[in-house]
Structure 1
């Protein structure tokens, strides 16, 4: 009999299912560089442009609209009848006593930074994919589409003990480095990996602020494990200075925790067994997981940050299309 795959070992270690053989190269468990590159054709139907369909989650009632490319200041010049009065620079006008207008030009592109969580908390899946696979596929699709729109693409890929930074660039080589880093980080996830303290999400968000100080499109694909009040402040600051989109990756098991199973939970150093047959323990654990999801979803209202709720229980492309308000792709379409 074949040895259990990493996904089977992970669920077995958590006490969720019995061991059963499974292919070690199952794309639902680990992504490959070739598999990520194969998504390029399917990315063309998506759009991360400022103008979104009415039903898009990035154009919702509570979400801020994507602002698109910024404006570059060129010069101040004297006002000429017919100039747009909204362009008047009132500070210069007040100082000189003569009307002046600010001349700006639209930036040629809008750099994008795609942040992908590949920590051990993402190495879980109860239905179709591991959460890490869903995040990786969504990030690759975004990278392909944004570059195809003519914008520079970079990214941050992080696991529990490593972080890779790829600064936004137009060259295809930059995109390839991002995809390679993503595939490498994903392949490092394994049920028998050493127990490590997880990389703090706040450390990653501070790196985002350093690389993308303003006027970037920033997409974060994560389960947002370990959020706190500082996380909310960092997200709020990033959203004020950039176009920020959060891809909240979850699994239906966490949303509807079954009763009567034994779970082994760990903070990277200590382990404890939780029996959900205990009604109080089941209620506390369910409220904790649901509370984190609800908090991130509420940032859309409180912080005006678009949130794309992604699930590991569905294929990535169809749900991204649905979240962007697009019709389902025709059968067999690429």
Structure 2
């Protein structure tokens, strides 16, 4: 495949910026703030204990010094750190219509990045396949976001596979302060990642954005189809004209999807499913609203 010129990449960056920045300004900035505010709390001061205060907020050192109970006061941290944990494995190059999963991932990352800087937050990115491919440490500013968008467009991973646990272990080790982490993937991973999800969600505020294509859930009736696994290179013929084959494919996809969603619920990770050929605006806003209600 011919490599794009710098001017072509910059045009793409500009197009994505115009589309996603507008969405972020008009729709997401308020929803984003209310969905994540109060998740990071910083110690502010102490005051004397008053009836109704929670026992767990008592500062025992100050209480002992002054011989009467004092409680710690916490304030919402004004500045949060947002980390995009982005799957760049080969399966993201799939798309049955005009838009690839990879294109949707780029747009989502841009929208979340612009929402973050609207809120004066830092944003960083971890690209992963079956290993961590690249880490862009969290920073603020428009030029930083444009660099992230450009990397998303032109980045070529060294590996084709997927290992979500590797990426989450790196997140926990690299980001010491509690952060909001968006794990953006199709979650097609043969390695177990339940413990990775659980540990990352304990250390950080983890949100899963599952990227799916309609053809991964059901087959069209178009006769013999060559089906290729982009991560392993294995392929086989499928007879899509057979109703039995189509039903078996659909049932297997539904089973896999249900088990994944159960895994998110078990590990306490908020999630939403998004499709390249459908609008992501309403599903994302609903996710943010749901989080605001439980904040």
- Do structure 1's residue 32 and structure 2's residue 12 form an aligned pair? yes
* Equivalent in the alignment of 2:110: 140
- Is 1:121 the counterpart of 2:91? The answer is yes
SS in structure 2 at match of 1:248: strand
Hey, which bits of structure 1, 4+ residues long, moved more than 6 A?
A: 94-97
Q: Is the aligned partner of 1:254 residue 2:224?
A: no
Distance 1:105 1:295 in 2: 38
The alignment of Structure 1 onto Structure 2 pairs a total of residues equal to 277
Partner of 1:209: 172
Supply the RMSD in Å over aligned alpha carbons. 3.6
The aligned residue for residue 80 of structure 1 is 48
Bigger proportion of residues as helix: 2
State whether residues 201 and 227 of structure 1, in contact with CA within 8 Å, keep that contact through their aligned partners in structure 2: no
Distance in 2 between residues matched to 1:297 and 1:176, nearest whole Å: 33
* Correspondent of 1:42 among 5, 16, 23: 23
The 5-angstrom pairing of residues 1-334 of structure 1 reads: 32-38=12-18, 39-44=20-25, 45-47=27-29, 49=32, 51-52=34-35, 66=36, 68-73=38-43, 80=48, 82=50, 85-86=53-54, 87-89=57-59, 98-159=68-129, 163-185=133-155, 188=156, 197-229=160-192, 231-258=193-220, 260-266=223-229, 268-277=231-240, 285-317=249-281, 320-321=284-285, 324=288
> What's the TM-score, normalizing by structure 2?
0.77
Name the SS for the 1:49 alignment partner: helix
Q: Deviations over 1:216-238 (max 9, x none)?
A: 11112210111543x11111111
The answer for unaligned runs of 5 or more in structure 2 is 6-10, 291-295
The answer for unaligned runs of 5 or more in structure 1 is 7-23, 26-30, 53-65, 327-334
Distance in 1 (CA, whole Å) between partners of 2:258 and 2:74 is 41
CA distance in 2: counterparts of 1:214 and 1:292, whole angstroms? 34
Preserved contact between residue 117 and residue 140 of structure 2 (Cα < 8 Å): yes
Instruction: Tell me if structure 1 keeps the 8 A contact 2:126–2:134.
Output: yes
1:89–1:100 contact (8 Å) kept in structure 2: yes
Task: Work out whether residues 13 and 146 of structure 2, in 8 Å CA contact, stay in contact via their aligned partners in 1.
Answer: no
How far does residue 50 in structure 1 lie from its aligned partner after superposition?
Answer: 5.6
2:8 corresponds to which residue? none
- The CA distance in 2 between the partners of 1:178 and 1:197, in whole Å, is 21
SS in 2 for 1:85: coil
With over 3 angstroms needed to count, the CA separation of the structure-2 counterparts of 1:320 and 1:83, relative to structure 1, is same
C-alpha distance in 2 between matches for 1:144 and 1:94: 47
Deviation, 1:199, is 4.0
Alignment partners' CA distance in 2, 1:321 and 1:107: 23
